[in-house]
Structure 1
Amino acid sequence: MNNIVCVSFPLPEARSRLLDDLSGTYDFPVALEPCTQEVANDTIAALHWAQDSSETIERHLCRYGALLLRGFPVRTPRDFAHLTEALGWPNFGYEASGGNAVRRNVVGDRVFTANESPPDKVIPFHHELAQTTRYPHRVAFFCENPAMRGGATPLLDSGNAYARLRSEFPEGLAELQKKGVRYTRVMTVDDRPHSAIGRGWSDTFGVSTPQELEAKLASSGDKLEWLRGAPS
């Protein structure tokens, strides 16, 4: 199969953005759909397309920041995992990263549920695993069962947010760049299912004892303070 580039289509929910080089505008996210019936209907053909088009997809991601692939025959977590493999993306083991705040269920190699927080909890905009020293360079979402109501995953253009900070709050931005950012988390030993970031330190870092936790955080350069003394 030759290198097939998908065709883009207008997305009503997208926001128009100005390119950094002022050469024009683009939608965020940029939406792509298959340009042949074979790629639209056959999973194997779609995986071949992904492999052949991986460099083009990567260029689009670097230029536009986010892509929405719609109309492809990706129906299961296994299909989704194979698609990311075909694109040449390395696997990222969340459990090995340490510090993941939310609870996730592993549903296959490369694939986790996005969040197991209670549905009434608001998840603010964030960069994936920004509070850790090991984070993914790309994040992909796949919807297996669309919600009957709501369920949308909002995206924030970080480049645009930075430009607004630089324009509207230059002094505050300069202070951030000078001092940096420190993340502080207060954690219990056990999980708290009612919380949006309810993983306890044992589950989060994959350890069983305070001594194991102290050793793991020391190896990653993180600081630990026991608020009520180290548990025995």
Structure 2
Amino acid sequence: MFKREPAPLNPLVLIMKKNVNQSLASPDAFRRRPSQAEPTEHHYQECDSQGFVFVVESTFPGGLEWFASNRNWIHAKLKEHGAIIFRGFTNQAASEFHDWMITVCSRTLKYEGRSSPRTKVFENVYTSTDYPPDRRIPFHNESSYRREFPTFIAFYCARPAEGGGQTGLVRTDQMLGRIPESIRLRFEERKWMYVRNFQPGVGMSWQESFCTDDKAQIEAHCRRESMTFQWLSNVHLQTRAIRDPIIVHPVTGEKCWFNHACFFHRTSLDPDIRAMLEEQLGVEYLPTNSFYGDGGEIDAKTIDQIRQAYLVNSVNIEWQTGDLLLVDNIMTAHCRAPYQGNRLIYAAMA
């Protein structure tokens, strides 16, 4: 089911850089001969642990045909690196980004069981999280809180920010070596639980998160996702789910730190907002919060140590217009820096 063939077919001119923030080498050095329909040469520079992202730069406009014929090679590189940037290809509309995702990953997924607001711009293509630009979005693996989650997530840069707005990436298969052993063992033994409270005027509504206003459909969704649910009032829904914080990658066989424990923890809220919500709602009724699977509180020091582990060897992507970023969602976590300007990034999952 997860078999991928590593051999490339007629690869484009390729450059793998030590750091994705460095300028790519001039394409003039790799200009193709006019008689060739596709260049046959490709050039690599071995990357180190500070820049694991693989960069593919095109020296001439490329279409879906190249991606279709090199799909096995792309997935082999994704298995090796965890994330690939395709740079210098033709700019795309949302519909073309969807076609690209289908070509590379066969299908796209709806954004269900939502935890963050997004705007749908085309079939299974959404804006990246519609979150205030002055806020940082913490590291996370997309939908790791769900029983079923995407294997891949891709981003397309329609318009970069005027300042900031980098997408951070970090390998979760390397996280276990950075998290203190006592914390790792505690999570493996006790698992982790996330609690959500859907209340009018506070965070996402249950209608928005579950994409329906039918309570029966919501309850069926919760059962499929192995979530417990309780209607605390006619308009207040509370859900709980216990998940494994570490999973085995289905292709590489490596263990990966895969959860939203930091993302949902109440300390991820701005201190002023957290204090206000705790005073008004109580800790047990915050929009989101993380606990150990047995219901025990995860202390702030533990969360801070995990946050620091994310930062080690993370890479910041400086977006350029037209960039395509393909991410192995299990192997690689992502985040977003605050930004200025009218940044527009599309997202799709598979």
Percent sequence identity is: 24
1:208 aligns with 2:232: no
Q: Which residue of 1 aligns with 2:69?
A: 52
- Provide, for residues 134-165 of structure 1, a one-character-per-residue CA deviation record: whole Å limited to 9, x for no partner: 21100111010111111211112212222212
2:189 to 166, 178, 187: 178
Q: Which residue of 2 aligns with 1:66?
A: 83
Q: Which residue of 2 aligns with 1:141?
A: 155
CA distance in 2, matches of 1:126, 1:151: 16
Q: Counterpart of 1:84 in structure 2: which amino acid?
A: M
CA distance in 2, matches of 1:213, 1:189: 17
Structure 1 residues 150, 210: CA separation in 2 closer, same or farther (over 3 Å shift)? same
Q: Which residue of 2 aligns with 1:76?
A: 93
- Provide, for residues 75-115 of structure 1, a one-character-per-residue CA deviation record: whole Å limited to 9, x for no partner: 32122112112214321111xx32x1111111112311011
SS of residue in 1 equivalent to 2:151: coil
Structure 1 residues 231, 113: CA separation in 2 closer, same or farther (over 3 Å shift)? closer
1:86 aligns with 2:103: yes
- Give, in angstroms, the shift of residue 11 of structure 1: 5.7
Q: Counterpart of 1:114 in structure 2: which amino acid?
A: S
Q: Counterpart of 1:176 in structure 2: which amino acid?
A: F
1:119 to 133, 147, 151: 133
1:153 to 144, 151, 167: 167
CA distance in 2, matches of 1:113, 1:11: 29
Contact 2:53 2:83 in 1 (8 A): yes
Contact 1:50 1:87 in 2 (8 A): yes
Q: Which residue of 2 aligns with 1:31?
A: 55
> What is the root-mean-square deviation of aligned Cα atoms in Å?
2.5
Q: Give structure 2 stretches of 5+ with no counterpart.
A: 1-8, 23-45, 237-350
CA distance in 2, matches of 1:220, 1:209: 17
TM-score normalised according to structure 1 size:
0.78
Structure 1 residues 11, 80: CA separation in 2 closer, same or farther (over 3 Å shift)? farther
1:103 aligns with 2:117: yes
Contact 2:20 2:55 in 1 (8 A): no
Q: Counterpart of 1:49 in structure 2: which amino acid?
A: W
Structure 1 residues 178, 148: CA separation in 2 closer, same or farther (over 3 Å shift)? same
Contact 1:187 1:201 in 2 (8 A): yes
CA distance in 2, matches of 1:217, 1:64: 34
Within 5 A, what are the aligned runs for 1:190-205? 198-205=203-210
- Provide, for residues 17-50 of structure 1, a one-character-per-residue CA deviation record: whole Å limited to 9, x for no partner: xxxxxx984632111112x52xxx2xxx421000
CA distance in 2, matches of 1:103, 1:88: 24
Contact 2:199 2:235 in 1 (8 A): no
Structure 1 residues 75, 212: CA separation in 2 closer, same or farther (over 3 Å shift)? closer
Contact 2:15 2:56 in 1 (8 A): yes
The number of equivalent residue pairs is 204
CA distance in 2, matches of 1:104, 1:70: 25
TM-score normalised according to structure 2 size:
0.53
- Give, in angstroms, the shift of residue 230 of structure 1: 4.0
Structure 1 residues 109, 11: CA separation in 2 closer, same or farther (over 3 Å shift)? farther
Structure 1 residues 24, 83: CA separation in 2 closer, same or farther (over 3 Å shift)? closer
SS of residue in 2 equivalent to 1:175: helix
- Give, in angstroms, the shift of residue 5 of structure 1: 4.4
Contact 1:30 1:64 in 2 (8 A): yes
